[in-house]
Chain A
Amino acid sequence: MIIVFLRTIIIFLSIIVSMRLMGKRQLGELEPSELVVTVLISDITSHPLENIGSPLLYGLIPIFSLLCCEILISGLTVKSIRFRKFICGAPSIIIAGGKVNQKEMLKNRFTVDELMEELRKSGVMDISTVKHAILETDGTLSILPYASQSPVTPAQMALNVSDNEYPVIVVSDGRVLSENLKVLGRDEKWLNRQLKSRGVSSPGEVYIMSADREGKIYLAKKEKGS
């Protein structure tokens, strides 16, 4: 039994390392090659876990071989446009100038129902308000509505608005995140002053506290018993 446990831990760590090395994109939208690697890894790893008689290397070698292939393919897709087009495909313009491109729909085996579903997911109920719709290589639909249907921006209304600063978490579940304080150009003295002014004696009483460069602070105390 201990062998199964150890093998599981080794395989688990190997997959975590593989996924981490493949990058963040792997965890979000998958390109075809990434999907293949993910599906293969999940299937391959189950065999050495189920069968103790099978060497663990029979699971580890495919994982690391796939990892290397994926990294090499990702590297090549960054370097070569032609290779990227071959591996990832190219985006398809499904709606151009308000007109549905039926040839592209057929080519991508994209049905009218799927098109409407994707539009609805993007908050578009009326297809006539869409000027351009592009089917991306990861299967998502990017939509550009007609200008008359687009939300008004402050720039269009000639409004003078200041840019929002990016708030960062400075206390998380009672722990002070010193690195984030440094990002804000603050220190723990400043933090303690802010806490004191809000009736909090120590960071240990804070569940979450965020702050931005403009000094805007959000603070939530820990609930009793949590």
Chain B
Amino acid sequence: MKKELAAAILLGLILIGCIINSRAVTLLAEELTGLVEDAGEDAISGLWEDAGQDIDDAFALLSRRGIYIGVFLPADDMDRIADSLDNLREQIHSRNAAGTESAVHLALTRLESIASRERVRIGSIF
């Protein structure tokens, strides 16, 4: 029964790890979403410097969580998010209001797709 007990414990640990990962992904997506939304609002208000700072903070956040992202998240998805943030930064630097708005929309859509992937719902399971 020792083997079965060890298997049950390992299964429990895997489940706990998956729940923690789900929470961590959601948290990361929420933090990035907040920064992107702030950047969008600052850009609309004409505060281009602040908007640029928000995007730099978003990149800094991605860099800080680099190991976690590398181990737990698909590289393709994270590359797409980094690309969309890069695009947003370019639009902000060129002070293009319309381009910034569409770049914010794109980044938020991609962040939402990452967050929704780990959300436990009937639809996401099946």
Binding site for B on A (CB under 8 A): 21, 52-55, 57-58, 61, 64-65, 67-69, 71-72, 74-75
Contact = CB atoms under 8 A, between A and B. Distances in A.
B72 A57 contact: yes
Contact of A64 (B8, B14, B72): B14
Name the prevailing secondary structure of the A interface residues.
Answer: helix
B18 A61 contact: yes
A64 B74 contact: no
Nearest to A53: B75
Q: Which 10 residue pairs are nearest across A and B when measured between Cβ atoms?
A: A75-B4, A53-B75, A71-B7, A68-B11, A68-B7, A53-B76, A68-B10, A72-B7, A54-B74, A65-B14
A67 B9 CA distance: 12
A21 B4 CA distance: 11
B3 A21 contact: yes
Contacts of B71: 55, 57
5 contacts: A53-B79, A55-B70, A68-B10, A69-B11, A72-B4
A58 B70 CA distance: 12
Nearest to A23: B3
A61 B79 CA distance: 23
Contact of A53 (B6, B7, B74): B74
Contact of A67 (B1, B7, B74, B76): B7
Given A61-B14, A75-B1, A68 B72 contact: no
Given A55-B72, A68-B10, 16 more contacts: A53-B76, A53-B79, A55-B75, A57-B71, A57-B72, A58-B74, A67-B7, A68-B8, A69-B11, A71-B4, A71-B6, A71-B7, A72-B4, A72-B7, A74-B4, A75-B7
Contacts of B75: 52-55
A198 to B, nearest CB: 45
A74 B6 CA distance: 13
B125 to A, nearest CB: 15
B73 A55 contact: yes
